[in-house]
């Protein structure tokens, strides 16, 4: 997937979470419960989150070898 699609989806999710935060303060319900219902709504409308972010290595932790490489590369600068 292109970077544009990932950015657009991230912005839409940020907008959805902001709307959930506003609604929870107005309706006085717990934020976590509202997030669960928002997740159900996302699944109900089949938002293609897994297809867009599924193969991206955005949120995976770095391995120890790449971490040591990053440290050594930073020491060179």
Q: What does the pLDDT look like over 42-63, one tens digit per residue?
A: 888 877 666 666 655 555 566 5
Name which of 48, 24, 28 is nearest 37 in CA terms.
24
The values of phi and psi at residue 19, to 5°, are: -65, -40
pLDDT at 57: 56
CB 42 within 8 A of CB 51: no
**Selection from 36-40, 56-60, 63-67 with the highest mean pLDDT:** 36-40
pLDDT at 24: 93
């Amino acid at each position: 997937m292109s970077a544009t699609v990932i950015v657009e989806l991230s912005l839409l999710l940020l907008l959805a979470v902001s709307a959930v935060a506003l609604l929870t303060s107005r309706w006085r319900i717990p934020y976590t419960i509202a997030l669960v219902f928002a997740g159900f709504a996302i699944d109900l409308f089949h938002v293609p989150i897994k297809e867009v972010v599924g193969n991206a290595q955005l949120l995976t932790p770095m391995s120890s070898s790449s971490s040591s490489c990053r440290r050594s590369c930073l020491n060179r600068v």
